[in-house]
Structure 1
């Protein structure tokens, strides 16, 4: 496997954790790592050099160069031997990273940046990039765990194939087990018909149908990834609460950008947004092709 993993940096603790995660993923993929910082000040015509009244090594540009150098060094320490490049791009972070995502196989960002408001669990750049990125987007909080399974949120939607591919690939690269997790309620049941009577299914049949949905969603991928240990679970409960609880013991949670319950026109569904805000592990959001 080859290609490029891109990580956005801004000097925050969250972005440095993202750098380490991105470097590790790049090493596993056999890909190069590109460290990118979006430098807003030139685009806003704000002077970036040192002040005439201050030290010659001061100024915004010098500070940006320092934080990028720190990120590059952090990447090389986390994954020695990988090819690390870097760029300081004049522009707004979201637009810059969206452009980078067009040629990357993965974009990694921290959950909150330097501009985050106190009390927010995830920053606007992470949420918007998950919706608009052209490749899978991995959102990392500080100190992600390196053990536990990769959890894939399964909903049976037609757009979920790309997320399933990504989850199996990550589990294989990490040598981690994969858990295909589907949450269902009685709202999943089909409507009654004259043939079925007042109930759409006999007791227990709905649970069996939901378990079958998970198995069928992963069936072809099991054959393509024979070395990945796979467990499937169909749990009666609310999707958001079920996935958030499962994320406590996971090293990665993978969800599609939109599930089968999404409204037309939305780029990011309510479940994927909830995972970005509340999951206890890094979250990968994968848009359908």
Structure 2
């Protein structure tokens, strides 16, 4: 990592939580922060007041954010940018030049019952770099719980980027990695039984070993714990999210495809995980398309 951490700032409590998280990580990673504010509303053609008023409000908001960042850690270099675009477009543009994009789980939008705002969801599904979604009050696991990074692994092909991201973060933080993969027996099969279950479990163990091998070799000081569990990956990760401060999962990306590219597990952890979630894009090769 050497590009800045880009943080979406809109003045909401969630964006302030995202800023605090990003300042701490930038200090650990020796990276600069780049704060981005969108001067337009949720729709590209809706300007928040007159251009002059919108610019003044944006400048004041970013100045306050910079002050907050420096109060939290004066050694972190901070730059700012006001982008004349709607929030999603502004943040996606920022993802082109970022080690990671950090956003709050909710912005200033309505529908408070939703656990993830529409801007954060759209960015998580389309950004070119890892996206970290910070939920209010998730800066640390409960007292007494070891600080370890929770890593959801599907297989080597679809999880390699997420695995490496998790190991890099763990190494810098001085933490371990809890790598989790799940397996389940198909509901309709004539080969169900203990033998079939054992075969599926061994296959999952092999897939997990293959996915972790390269990053384990590159980061030998990171302590790794493996968990191969029967059941739904979504349910297992959500339960485990209560005892960690960072959950890392891969997010498949297909070149040439438009729209939000998120799987069921991605959606579940973004909406319901009780910790900060990092989605790391995994670009599929042409052969898999």
Number of positions where the alignment pairs a residue of Structure 1 with one of Structure 2 = 272
Residue aligned with 2:221, SS: coil
Whole-Å separation in 1 of the counterparts to 2:159 and 2:177: 16
Q: Does 1:19 align with 2:13?
A: no
Cα deviation code 1:125-172 (max 9, x no counterpart) = 111111110100000011223352111101115121111111111111
Q: Could you tell me whether the CA contact under 8 Å between 2:21 and 2:139 is conserved in 1?
A: no
CA contact (8 A) 1:4 1:34 kept: yes
Q: Match of 1:239?
A: 233
- Cα deviation digits, residues 236-261 of structure 1 (max 9, x gap): 111111100100011100111139xx
Cα distance in 1 for residues equivalent to 2:22 and 2:260: 28
- Contact preservation (8 Å) 2:184, 2:200: no
Does the aligned pair in 1 maintain the 2:150–2:248 contact within 8 Å?
A: yes
Residue 126 of structure 1 corresponds to which residue in structure 2? 120
| C-alpha contact 2:116 2:270 (8 A) present in aligned 1 | yes
> Is residue 40–residue 84 contact of structure 2 (8 Å, CA) maintained in 1?
yes
Q: Match of 2:97, SS? A: coil
TM-score by length of 1: 0.86
Query: How far does the alpha carbon of each residue in 1:69-105 deviate from its partner, in whole angstroms, 9 at most, with x for none?
Result: 2211222222320110011111101011111101111
Q: 1:258 touches 1:272 (CA, 8 Å); kept in 2?
A: no
Written as runs of structure 1 = structure 2, the 5 A alignment for 1:200-239 is 201-202=195-196, 204-239=198-233
Deviation for aligned residue 1:116: 3.7
Contact 1:159–1:287 (CA<8 Å) still a contact in 2? no
CA RMSD of aligned residues (A): 2.6
Match of 2:166 in 1: 167
Which of these two proteins has the greater Rg computed from alpha carbons?
A: 1
Q: Deviations over 1:210-267 (max 9, x none)?
A: 22322221122111101111001011111111100100011100111139xxxx9972
Change (3 A) 1:16 1:266: closer
Q: Secondary structure at the match of 1:97?
A: helix
Give the gaps of 5 or more residues in structure 2.
142-146, 284-289
1:37 equivalent to 2:41? Answer no
Q: Distance in 2 between matches of 1:73 and 1:18?
A: 15
Cα distance between partner residues in 2 of 1:145 and 1:97: 22
Distance 1:288 1:36 in 2: 24
1:59-78 alignment runs, 5 A limit = 59-78=53-72
Identify unmatched segments of 5+ residues in structure 1.
50-58
Question: CA contact under 8 A between 2:156 and 2:210: conserved in structure 1?
Answer: no
Distance 1:127 1:64 in 2: 23
Cα shift at 1:68:
1.4
> Aligned equivalents of 1:20 and 1:213: distance in 2?
36
Q: In structure 2, do the counterparts of structure 1 residues 78 and 129 end up closer, same or farther at CA, with 3 Å as the change threshold?
A: same
Name the CA distance, whole Å, in 1 between partners of 2:20 and 2:61. 14
Alignment of 1:92-171 (within 5 A): 92-146=86-140, 148-156=147-155, 158-171=157-170
Name the residue aligned to 2:76.
82
Q: Distance in 2 between matches of 1:153 and 1:248?
A: 14
